[in-house]
Amino acid sequence: MPAKGRSIAVDEVILDLEDSVAAEGKDEARETLIDALAQPDWAPSSVAVRINGVGTPWFRRDLEELVSRAGDRIDSIVLPMVEDAEQLRLIDAGLDELERQADVDSPIALEALIETAVGLRSIDPIATASGRLEALILGPADLAASLGLPDGDPEARDEALGFARSTVLVSARAAGVAAIDGPYLRVDDEPGLRRSAERARSLGYDGKWAIHPAQVAPLEELFTPGDAEVQRARSVLAALEGAGVASLDGEMIDEASRKRAEAILARAATAE
């Protein structure tokens, strides 16, 4: 899997030490991951590692081994099951010291997975707990279990999490970090994946996790502004040049329109 990850051109490759690894395989998986990070040619992707959560037996060793032996190869740490701001402050302080000891050139960013009712309720302090934080990620499977949503149709569950997506999005925007939707778990259901991604995109999410290479192309298509959207954004900026308010195709546009247009063009630029 790490070898395949090196060959896929995506925004971010996430190497997982948490849910995808059984308890008895944690140490071996960590060594495999560190060896993989030493290999060249990680495409143009950013590399993240999801470590085991604060309070687990593997958390501290995950952090120490990864930073001391592979810190220059890791762009961000994904922290699962974040439930309060203190968890992020703890890892932030730990990274400060470990990066200093390992002489890591660039600070490692943090991404926080919101996967429980407690985490959702505490999301505003979480979103502002660390200057390293670059994204809030909604974890749909664990959050659904925490909220007591019934098992069954994954698409119905996905729809039921709409309020949680809105909560994560508002906190992310207020804190100035990215809002990322969690994965759609049925890898053989592209129509369901597209509907799930469209729900997140329509709310204003910046992206969505893929758990299989087959999901990458549909997600890139849905989260990349189309030609018509880009052209409209350029027309908005042209119409507002030197003006606070203007009319475009019969619609009043203003400073809020300018901000939306600039965000669309920035998103399009990152996809090129």
Could you write out the DSSP letters of every residue in the chain?
-HHHHHH---SEEEEESSTTS-GGGHHHHHHHHHHHHTSS--TT-EEEEE-PPTTSTTHHHHHHHHHHHHGGG-SEEEEPS--SHHHHHHHHHHHHHHHHHHT-SSPPEEEEEE-SHHHHHTHHHHHTS-TTEEEEEE-HHHHHHHHTPPSS-HHHHHHHTHHHHHHHHHHHHHHT-EEEE---S-TT-HHHHHHHHHHHHHHT--EE--SSGGGHHHHHHHHSPPHHHHHHHHHHHHHHTT-SSEEETTEEE-HHHHHHHHHHHHHHHHH-
2-223: CATH class: alpha beta
Query: Which pLDDT belongs to residue 33?
Result: 94
Query: What are the pLDDT tens digits along the chain (272 aa)?
Result: 888 888 888 889 999 999 999 999 999 999 999 999 988 877 767 899 999 999 999 999 999 999 999 999 999 999 999 999 999 999 999 999 999 999 999 999 999 999 999 999 999 999 999 999 999 999 999 999 999 998 877 778 888 899 999 999 999 999 999 999 999 989 999 999 999 999 999 999 999 999 999 999 999 999 988 888 888 889 988 988 888 888 888 888 888 888 878 878 877 777 66
Q: Where are the domains of the chain?
A: 2-223, 228-271
Query: Which pLDDT belongs to residue 272?
Result: 65
Whether the model clears a pTM of 0.75, i.e. scores above it, the answer is: yes
Query: Which pLDDT belongs to residue 78?
Result: 98
Q: Tell me: the pLDDT tens digits for 129-173?
A: 999 999 999 999 999 999 999 887 777 888 889 999 999 999 999
Query: Which pLDDT belongs to residue 55?
Result: 92
